[in-house]
Chains A and B, each alone.
Chain A
Amino acid sequence: MQVNFQLNGEPVEVDIEPRLHLADCLREMLRLTGTHLGCEHGVCGACTVIVDGAAVRSCLLLAVQAEGSSVVTVEGLSTDEALTPLQAAFRKHHALQCGFCTPGMLMTAHALLTEEPDADADRIRSVLSGNLCRCTGYIPIVEAVLEARAAYRKSDKP
């Protein structure tokens, strides 16, 4: 089946099997491998991308269901070689070790702060509870997201 959608601001068209989920479509067909698969049954959150402004688990979305949608992946967070304030905050707070859960964490945090730049620590933890990390123990991730809020409050396009 042919599917058309917007990917990180550019139109894409792929010809795929219906059973292919969006994560595999991004990773295998479109070669954007920043979105990771940690469980493929909707628990770990490593596959989180933003579809039509909402953070979703891309392993629970058939690629064909993305028809006409706008999809943003971790590769689309920054447009140049500089780190975004959110990414820089992650680095500063050592909010990643092996890096495998990190794209999912970034996309979830980005979606959250875009809508709720004043989210407090409890809200951040609650939202991130759907993203598993085995390395960091989460505390530095929450600290990084708290610090990044300032950038989301300042402008429309962090």
Chain B
Amino acid sequence: MKPAPFDYRAPATLQEAIDLLRTEPEAVLIAGGQSLMPVLAFRLASPSLVVDLRRVAGLGDIAIDDGGVRLGARVRWRDIDDDPRLQTAHPLLREAIAHVAHYQIRNRGTVGGSLAHADPAAELPGIAVTCDAEITLVGAAGARTIGASEFFTGPMSTARRPDEIITELNLPSWPKNRRWAFQEFAQRQGDFALAGVALFYDADQGGRVRNAHVGIIGASDRPQRLTAVETLLNGHAVGEGLFREAAAAATRAVDPPEDLHADAAYRRGLVATLVARGLRAAQRRGA
């Protein structure tokens, strides 16, 4: 399974990389290559040029401040693992990323690569959407920022223009007492999730849910927030009854795909289970 032939360039600057993309319509970008290389191996794509970001500086930082958490596009899963600040700065991100793939892939796979690849079952796009993150892209027309939920347009499909390069993912800041959970179900460790739920809420003085964000992966054609479930949760006291209602609402809110691993009914069932378990886990965090 050797790729079709292509040229290769490793530009020194972001602008050079953009120029290459702009002038060569059949070019693709490579960073970690963990998603692109299998695509090339199966000859699902035959680009004329592969543009490697390995020499482009400034894309590998994790910046944490009052504005939130900014992940450079070349930040690897392993860098997220290794950064102790994220334990408090964004525990939901950290927990979700712990489920990504395997040891060797985690040493190479990147934030930007995952966002660009846009697998509907991938963890980071799910976190991005659930947390109202913003994605910065730089292209021939300059830089722009787009909300995560607008960025993902369908399975393996995004709003990125061919000449644009993702440079950063910006997650809003994370308050200390936030309740959160990440629950995923995959057949084996590291497999793509058959379904996954990322959720958080802030509790008010009376222990009622406020600002609920419930996002799912793997159960739709793109990561999505389940606004019906969020509405159901907001303003109510947490408890098993509420969790079950939320779980039931979640099954009605998703339209899961069917594939050789799971049918829609099962994925709906999984979503219910994972929403309920997530809400219980989030509640325990506040206890």
Q: Do A and B bind each other?
A: yes
Task: Using CB atoms and an 8 Å cutoff, list the residues of chain A in contact with chain B.
Answer: 1, 17-19, 21, 24, 40-42, 45, 48, 54-57, 59-62, 64-65, 67, 108, 111-112, 126-127, 129-130
Number of A-B contacts (CB under 8 A): 88
Find B104's partner among A21, A57, A64, A67 (CB 8 Å cutoff).
Answer: A57
Q: How far is the CB of B63 from chain A (nearest CB, A)?
A: 23
Determine the distance from Cα of A140 to Cα of B103 in the docked complex, in whole angstroms. 20
Q: Chain A interface mostly helix, strand, loop or mixed?
A: mixed
Residues A55 and B103 in contact in the complex (CB < 8 Å), given A60-B34, A61-B108, A65-B33:
yes
A19: chain B residues at CB < 8 Å are 2-6, 40
Determine the distance from Cα of A119 to Cα of B34 in the docked complex, in whole angstroms. 25
Residues A55 and B190 in contact in the complex (CB < 8 Å), given A17-B5, A41-B42:
no
Q: Using CB atoms, name the residue of chain A closest to B55.
A: A67
29 contacts between A and B (CB under 8 A): A17-B5, A18-B5, A18-B50, A19-B2, A19-B3, A19-B6, A24-B2, A40-B1, A40-B41, A41-B37, A41-B38, A41-B42, A42-B34, A42-B105, A54-B78, A56-B104, A57-B34, A57-B104, A57-B108, A60-B108, A61-B37, A62-B8, A62-B33, A62-B37, A65-B10, A108-B103, A112-B103, A126-B103, A130-B101
**B178 interfacial contact with A, CB 8 Å:** no
Q: Using CB atoms, name the residue of chain A closest to B188.
A: A129
Q: Using CB atoms, name the residue of chain B closest to A127.
A: B103
**B189 interfacial contact with A, CB 8 Å:** yes
Interface residues in B1-46 by Cβ distance below 8 A to A read: 1-8, 10, 30, 33-34, 37-38, 40-42
**B161 interfacial contact with A, CB 8 Å:** no
A64: chain B residues at CB < 8 Å are 8, 10, 52
Determine the distance from Cα of A35 to Cα of B7 in the docked complex, in whole angstroms. 26
Q: Using CB atoms, name the residue of chain A closest to B98.
A: A126
Q: Chain B interface mostly helix, strand, loop or mixed?
A: loop
**B107 interfacial contact with A, CB 8 Å:** yes
- Cβ B7 vs Cβ A18 within 8 A: yes
**B85 interfacial contact with A, CB 8 Å:** no
- Cβ A129 vs Cβ B5 within 8 A: no
B42: chain A residues at CB < 8 Å are 41
Determine the distance from Cα of A61 to Cα of B33 in the docked complex, in whole angstroms. 7
Q: Using CB atoms, name the residue of chain B closest to A61.
A: B33
Determine the distance from Cα of A62 to Cα of B40 in the docked complex, in whole angstroms. 11
A62: chain B residues at CB < 8 Å are 8, 30, 33, 37, 50, 52
Find B52's partner among A40, A65, A129 (CB 8 Å cutoff).
Answer: A65
- Cβ B50 vs Cβ A56 within 8 A: no
